[in-house]
Structure 1
Amino acid sequence: MVTTTNSYEKELAFQADRRKASIELIKIVSDLWYENAIELVLFRNQLIDQSVSKVMTLYKYAGDFVNKPMSIFESVDIAQAIKNMNLPPAKIDIGKLTYEYHMNENHLFDTTSFVIDKLRHAKNSNAIEPKDVVLYGFGRIGRVLARELMQNTGMGSQLRLRAVVIRGEIDKEALLKRASLLEHDSVHGMFHGTVAIDEQKKALIINGTSVFFISATSPEAMDYTAYGIEKALLIDNTGAYRDKKSLNKHLKAKGIEKVLLTAPGKDIPNIIYGVNQKQYPLDKHSIFSAASCTTNAIAPILKVVEESLGIKKGHLQSIHAYTNDQNLVDNMHHKYRRGRAAAINMVITETGAGSAISKAIPALKGRLTSNAIRVPVPNGSLAIIHLELQKKTTLNTINTILKKYALEGDLVEQIKYSLNNELVSSDIIGASAPAIYDSSATIVSSDGKNITLYIWYDNEYGYSHQVMRLAKHIAKVRRYTYY
C-alpha cells in the first residue's frame, strides 16, 4: 500500500512539473512571436496562444509520431536558447529540434551549442518587406483567411490584411453582419480575438487593427491607394473570375501588384504549394491560382508515391463536404444532381482534381480518373486514391515512406501522418495540413501492386493555409524555416 501511494505521489509531482514546463514554454513562445517575429511550432502544430492541456496533448502526439519520448523540459531549454540567439524573423519546429537533440546520443553539444549549430544559417536569411493584402470577397474561404491573417499578424512582418472588398452598400448594418460572421462560425467556432466596427471609417477593427471594407463596382475601377494600400497582393475568393483575362482586371486597379485566385484557374499557373511552386518564376507572372482543396490534398501524396514507387494508373474518389454551391432544399441548379437537398443526400458529381494533377505533376498526365460524392457534412472531406504501382510494395513500406516525408523534406507542411485508429471527419476540422494521411486505413493488395490510400482534409481550413503559404511565397515574405 505504501509503495502504491508513493508511486501515485511521484506521478502527481511529475505531472505538476510538466505543466509548469508547459507554462514556461508558452511564455517563451509568446515572447518570441510578439517581440522577435519568431514562430515556434511542434511538428507543424501551432503553439502560439495554446493552453497547457493542448501543449501536453501535442507532446503526446509528437512522441507517438517519432516513436521516442519527447521531453518538454528539453524543449524549454531549446526554446530559451533560441530566444537568446536574437535571430531574424523565422519559423522553427521545436519538435524536430527536440527530437534531433534527443537522438544525439553522444551529446557533443550542450543545448545552447546544439541550437546555435542547427540554426547557424538563420542569420544569413534575406530581410523581408511586409506585404499589404486585399481580400476580394468574404465568403467561407475569405473569412477563414481573414481570421488566420489577423491571428497571425504578430509584428506585421509578413502579410498585412488591409481591406476586404464586398458587394453592396457598406453601412452600419453591413459592417455588423460581417463582424458577426467573422466572430461566429458554425464549423470553426469562435474567433480568438476582438472585432468591433468603425462606421465612419467603414472598417472592422480586428484585434485593434483597422481593416477597410470597400464596396466593389468593377475590379479595374478600384483605387486601393486611397486607403494607403500600395503594391498589394489581392486574393480573389469570389469564384466569379477564373481565367487570365478576367483576373487581369484586378491588376488595372491602383495599388495591386499580384493576384491570387482561390480556385482552379484557366491560362494561369495553378500551384500546389510544396509541390510545384518552383516551376513558376515569380517575376514572370502576376496572376496565380491555388488550385482546389482536393488537388491540394492529393498532390503531395501522389508526388511521394510517384517518386518512390511509380504510378501506372489510378482513380481518385473524393468524398466531399457539401458547399454553398449546392441547394439547401431541392431546387433548380445548372449542374445535374447538385440541385437536390445537400444536407440529406449523397450527391454524385464531378471533380477536376484528377486532370488538374497533371499541371502540378506532369508525369501523371492521362494516368488518373476521378469523380466526387458530396455528402451531408458541412466541412471535412476524404480523398480515396486507388493506384496501380510500377514497383511492388508492402503496407509497412508505404507507411514508412509517407511517415518519412511527413517528418522531413519539402512536404512537411503539406502531409500530416495520422496514427489514430478512430479518426473520423470531424477530427480533422482545424487541421492546417492539406493532406492528413490515415495510416491505419491503408490497403495493399496481396501481390503488392495495388494500393488504396485514405487522405483526409479540412476543405476550408487546411486549404486556406495552403493559400496563405502560397501567398507568402508570391509576396516574397517567407521567413527562414527550420523543419
Structure 2
Amino acid sequence: MSANLNYEEEVLSEAQNRRTTVEFITIVNDLWYDKSIELVLFKNPLVDKRASEVLNLINYAKEFVSKPITIKDALDIAKAIQQIDLPSSKLDIGKLAYECYLQPKKCKDKVAFVQHKLKDAKTYKNIEPKDVVLYGFGRIGRLLARELMTKMGKGSQLRLRAIVTRGPINETVLEKRASLLSVDSVHRDFLGTVQTDPENNALIINGTTVFMISANNPEEIDYTKYGIKDALIIDNTGAFRDKEALSRHLKATGASKVLITAPAKGIPNIVHGVNHKQYNPDKVAIFSAASCTTNAITPVLKVLEDNFGIKKGHLETIHAYTNDQNLVDNMHSKYRRGRAAALNMVITETGAGAAVAKAIPALEGKLTSNAIRVPVPNGSLAILNLQLNTMVSKERVNAIIKKYALEGDLVEQIKYSLDNELVSSDIIGTTAPAIFDSKATITDKETIVIYVWYDNEYGYSHQVIRLAKHIAKVRRFTYY
C-alpha cells in the first residue's frame, strides 16, 4: 500500500515538474522573441526546446555542478530576468541558478540578485546588425544557414541575406537547394520553413527572403543590387585558401569582410575563445576560422599549457569521412582517400598539430599529428597523448578542465561530459567544439592521454558563427 502511495506521489510530482517546465519554456521563448534575450543552461540552448529536453538539461546541470538545481530554481531566475531592463543578451541561467544556490541570503530577493549579477549590462552599447552572405552551400554552408535563420530573432545581430553558388539558378535548382536545407541525413529536419521564390531567385526561410546568386568569380558580384551593403562574406567553398585569393571577395560591391571556414595562408587563423581578441576587426579584413579539429583540440590544449605546461605530444584524430573521399574505390590525388569511405578506415594527414601553434605560440614544434578517417558520416574524436612539465593525477586534470568549462573565456568552447558510455552519435548536435570525455582520462606521472569528442560539422559551425559575430562587432552582452 505504501509503495502505491509513493508511486502516486511520484506521478503528481512529475506532472508538477512538467507544468513548471512548460511555464519556464514560455518565458524563455518570450524573452527571445520579444526582447532578444537568449537563455542557455550551461551553454546548452533552451529556445524552442520541449519539456523533456529541458528536464534532461536540468539533470545534467545538477550533476555538472554537484548541486540540487531544479526546474523551479530556473523558473524563478527566468521570472526575475523578465522584470529587468536588459539589452540584447545571452545569459546562462544555469550559472545564475548555481550562484544563487551558493549565496542563499543574497538570493532571497531574486530580482535584486539577478540585477546585481547583470549590472555590467547597463554599460553595453546597442549593436548594429550585419548583413551576411554565404559563399558556397555545402555541409557547413547549410548548417550556418540553419543556425543563422533559427537564431534570427528580431534581426539584431547577423542577417543572412544571400547565398552564392556556381551554375544556373532555376526553379528545379531552387527546389533542390530548399530540400537539402530542409532535410539532412545527419542533423535531421530543419525546425523551420523553407519555400522557393523562382521569380526572385530566392529561398524564403522562416518567412525571410534569402537571395540565391550565381557567380563564377567573387569580384563580379554587385551585392548592392540585392539591398545588401557592408556585408560579411563567409566563404565555405574551400576554393580560395590564401590571402590573395580571398581578397577577391573584397572587390565585390557591397562586401567589407571575409571569413573562410578552413585554414588559410597569410591571414589570421582564429580559434574563437583562444586568440580572437588578438585581432581587431577594424584593422583586419580577412579571417580564417581554422579547421574543425583545430577548434576541438586548441581550447583543451590551452588549459593544459596554462596550468601544467606541455613538453611535447602527439595528436591522433579519429575523423568522420568527408566529401573529399570517394564513395567507392576510384581515382584520387591521395592513394588511401581513393578507397571507399564507408567501408574503410583510412590513414591520412592533418595539419591540426601545427595549426595549434598559430593560436598558442608556446606549442610551436611540440606536437605531431595524424588522422584516421572512419566509416561514420559525422562525429569525430581527438586523442591527445601528452608529456607535461609536472606530475598530475586524473582527478586534478579533470578538475581543472571542469573549472574552465564552468567559468572563464572557454565556457563556450569546452563541454565537460559526465557520460560513462559516450559514443560518437551521442555528441551530434553539440554546440561546443570540444567535448571533454572526463571518464576516459588516463594519467601516469607526467604522461596524460585525454579524449576530446567533436561534432566536426555542427560544433565547428557554431565556432564560425561566434567568430563572425566578433568580426561583425555584433556580440551581445553575455553572462556565463
The answer, yes or no, to whether TM exceeds 0.5 is yes
User: How many angstroms apart in 2 are the aligned matches of 1:58 and 1:142?
Assistant: 28
User: How many angstroms apart in 1 are the aligned matches of 2:73 and 2:19?
Assistant: 13
Q: Does 1:478 align with 2:475?
A: yes
Map of 1:304-323 to 2, 5 A cutoff? 304-323=303-322
> Which has the higher mean CA deviation after the structures are superposed, 178-187 or 98-107?
98-107
The residue number in structure 2 matching 1:357 is 356
The 8 Å contact of residues 100 and 107 in structure 2, kept in 1 or not, is answered as: no
User: How many angstroms apart in 2 are the aligned matches of 1:124 and 1:7?
Assistant: 52
The residue number in structure 2 matching 1:271 is 270
The residue number in structure 1 matching 2:33 is 34
The residue number in structure 2 matching 1:461 is 458
Equivalenced residues, count: 480
CA separation of 1:5/1:107 partners in 2, compared to 1, >3 Å: closer, same or farther? farther
Residue aligned with 2:52, SS: helix
Residue aligned with 2:213, SS: strand
Structure 2: 5+ residue runs without aligned partners? none
Note the C-alpha offset of 1:71: 1.6
Q: Does 1:229 align with 2:228?
A: yes
Note the C-alpha offset of 1:106: 3.1
Note the C-alpha offset of 1:108: 5.5
The residue number in structure 1 matching 2:55 is 56
Q: Read off the aligned partner of 1:69 and give its amino acid letter.
A: P
Map of 1:72-83 to 2, 5 A cutoff? 72-83=71-82
User: How many angstroms apart in 2 are the aligned matches of 1:472 and 1:323?
Assistant: 27
User: How many angstroms apart in 2 are the aligned matches of 1:223 and 1:452?
Assistant: 51
Note the C-alpha offset of 1:217: 2.8
Show CA shifts across 1:240-292 (max 9, x none).
Answer: 00100000000000010100000001000000000001111221110000000
The residue number in structure 1 matching 2:247 is 248
The 8 Å contact of residues 318 and 381 in structure 2, kept in 1 or not, is answered as: yes
Note the C-alpha offset of 1:109: 4.0
The 8 Å contact of residues 84 and 111 in structure 2, kept in 1 or not, is answered as: no
The residue number in structure 1 matching 2:180 is 181
The 8 Å contact of residues 130 and 474 in structure 2, kept in 1 or not, is answered as: yes
With normalisation by structure 2, the TM-score equals 0.99
Map of 1:349-388 to 2, 5 A cutoff? 349-388=348-387
Note the C-alpha offset of 1:5: 2.5
Q: RMSD in angstroms over aligned alpha carbons? A: 0.8
Residue aligned with 1:397, SS: helix
Q: Read off the aligned partner of 1:459 and give its amino acid letter.
A: N
> Which has the higher mean CA deviation after the structures are superposed, 71-80 or 458-467?
71-80
> Which has the higher mean CA deviation after the structures are superposed, 276-285 or 48-57?
276-285
Residue aligned with 1:328, SS: coil
Q: Does 1:449 align with 2:449?
A: no
Show CA shifts across 1:173-195 (max 9, x none).
Answer: 00000000000100000000001
User: How many angstroms apart in 2 are the aligned matches of 1:67 and 1:431?
Assistant: 22
Q: Does 1:130 align with 2:156?
A: no
With normalisation by structure 1, the TM-score equals 0.99
User: How many angstroms apart in 1 are the aligned matches of 2:469 and 2:105?
Assistant: 39
The residue number in structure 1 matching 2:411 is 412
Q: Does 1:257 align with 2:256?
A: yes
> Which has the higher mean CA deviation after the structures are superposed, 98-107 or 396-405?
98-107
Residue aligned with 1:189, SS: coil
The 8 Å contact of residues 296 and 434 in structure 2, kept in 1 or not, is answered as: yes
The residue number in structure 2 matching 1:92 is 91
User: How many angstroms apart in 1 are the aligned matches of 2:172 and 2:25?
Assistant: 39
Structure 1: 5+ residue runs without aligned partners? none
Map of 1:386-405 to 2, 5 A cutoff? 386-405=385-404
Residue aligned with 1:284, SS: coil
The 8 Å contact of residues 33 and 153 in structure 2, kept in 1 or not, is answered as: yes
Residue aligned with 1:370, SS: strand
User: How many angstroms apart in 1 are the aligned matches of 2:70 and 2:116?
Assistant: 20
